[in-house]
Amino acid sequence: MTKTEDQDAVRRQLLSLGTLTREELTEKWKDLFGRTPPNYGTLFMRKRLAWRIQELFYGGIPESLQRVLHGDGDPLKSRPGRSMRPGTILVRMWHGARHEVTIRQNGFEYQGQLYRSLSSVATKITGSHWNGRRFFQITED
- Give the tens place of pLDDT for each residue, 24-34: 999 999 999 89
Mean pLDDT of the 33-51 span: 91
Residue 59 has pLDDT above 70, yes or no: yes
In a 10 Å sphere around its CB, with 0-12 CB exposed, 13-18 middle and 19+ buried, how is residue 125 labelled?
A: buried
pLDDT at 13 over 50: yes
57 — phi, psi (to 5°)? -80, -50
Angstrom CA distances, 107 to 13, 22, 123, stand at 42, 44, 15
Q: Across the beta sheet with 107-110, what order do the strands follow?
A: 89-94, 97-104, 107-110, 113-115
Q: Give me the mean pLDDT over the 75-89 stretch.
A: 62
Task: Decide which of 63 and 35 is more confident.
Answer: 35
Residue 43 has pLDDT above 70, yes or no: yes
Q: Is the pLDDT of residue 115 over 70?
A: yes
What does the pLDDT average to over 71-93?
A: 66
- Return the pLDDT at 79: 46
- Contact yes or no for 119/131 (Cβ under 8 A): yes
The gap from C-alpha 95 to its chain's centroid, in whole angstroms, comes to 30
123 and 129 in contact (C-beta within 8 Å)?
Answer: yes
Per-residue pLDDT tens digits for 93-103: 989 999 999 99
The answer to whether 124 and 132 have CB atoms below 8 angstroms apart is: no
